[in-house]
Amino acid sequence: MTRSPGSQGPLAELAHAVATYVEYQQELGVAGFAPAAAGARLPAGAVVPGEAPAAPLPAPAGAPGDGGPSASAAVGESLEALRAAIGDCRRCKLAPGRTNLVFGVGDPHARLVFVGEAPGHDEDLKGEPFVGRAGQLLTEIVTKGMRLRREDVYIANVIKCRPPGNRNPEPDEVESCEPFLVRQLAAIGPEVIVALGKFAAQTLLRTKTPITQLRGRWHDYHGIRVMPTFHPAYLLRNPGDKRLVWDDIKKVMQVLGIGTAPA
């Protein structure tokens, strides 16, 4: 699943990525981001979630901040350099309660990236995403379903530290941490992102649309195709919906041309 890193997108695409990030922070009500004026519109070329991707793979960028990304930082940055920049992160209130920061794992030039919500108990202990029961199910999807090795893809979360009691991440935590996911995706430059669950899908796509309406359809993340689907943890509670996830994964396999998906 490895491919050579492609050429960088134009500066205008990077600037647009910053603008959309700022708009999302305004919608969340994050401190430091003044609310957008009524009737304000995205810059020309903005992508509406659900539209088919048409642009080449630009390198998205987040909003500048303390150790956060900038358009220039995302260009040509390696995952190793990004991990070093994060360091022993203390940028939000999750840091004191974590055991390990969970950065990500897999092929640094993967064509396919899975993005989840946040680490759970097992991930916090090991420092690796998706290693608990939900992670085992994701591994089965990759190895038995897609017939790939886990190390052929890249796996990450929106949030790098475990929220207390596995609660949903809060807006200030997203403000501090989600920009590093933006830089991860810019460094990897995948062809496809699978957004696992409501939180990952809504964060990437800047939408509040329910996952039941997002899944199964292609969306766009700055020129990268996104397929939202149910989180493996949801499937552990609702095994009857595994068929829906498999339908979504078969669409991913078809786009990537990685083999004929079994029925």
Listing DSSP states for 19-69 in one string gives HHHHHHHHHHT-TTSPPPPTT--PPTTPPPTTSPP-S----------SS--
CB neighbour class for 34 (10 Å; exposed up to 12, middle 13-18, buried from 19): exposed
| Residue 76: pLDDT band with limits 50, 70, 90 | confident
The structural domain count of the chain equals 1
Q: Residue 88 CB: number of other CB atoms within 10 A?
A: 6
- Has residue 1 been placed in a domain? no
Picking from 117, 142, 121, 104, the residue whose alpha carbon sits closest to that of residue 196 is 117
- Has residue 152 been placed in a domain? yes
- Has residue 3 been placed in a domain? no
Q: Quote the pTM value.
A: 0.74
CB neighbour class for 165 (10 Å; exposed up to 12, middle 13-18, buried from 19): exposed
Structural domain harbouring 63: 11-35+57-256
> Any idea what the CATH number is for the domain that residue 99 is in?
3.40.470.10
CB neighbour class for 208 (10 Å; exposed up to 12, middle 13-18, buried from 19): exposed
- Has residue 99 been placed in a domain? yes
- Has residue 232 been placed in a domain? yes
pLDDT computed for residue 23 by the predictor: 55
Q: How far apart are CA 73 and CA 192, in angstroms?
A: 22
- Has residue 44 been placed in a domain? no
Q: For residue range 151-174, what is the model confidence (pLDDT) as tens digits?
A: 999 999 999 999 999 999 999 999
> On the CB side of 6, how many CA atoms lie within 13 Å of its CA?
17
Query: Encoding tokens for residue 172?
Result: 């200030």
- Has residue 4 been placed in a domain? no
Q: How far apart are CA 211 and CA 202, in angstroms?
A: 8
The type of residue at 261 is A
- Has residue 85 been placed in a domain? yes
Of 3-7, 9-13, 114-118, where does the model show the most confidence?
Answer: 114-118
User: Looking at the DSSP assignment, which residues form a beta bridge with residue 45?
Assistant: none
Q: For residue range 22-61, what is the model confidence (pLDDT) as tens digits?
A: 454 444 444 444 444 433 333 333 333 333 333 333 333 3
| pLDDT higher than threshold 50 for residue 72 | no
Positive/negative CA dihedral, 107, 109, 113, 116? positive
- Please check whether residue 129 is in contact with residue 155, taking contact to mean a CB–CB distance below 8 angstroms: yes
Query: Encoding tokens for residue 246?
Result: 């498999």
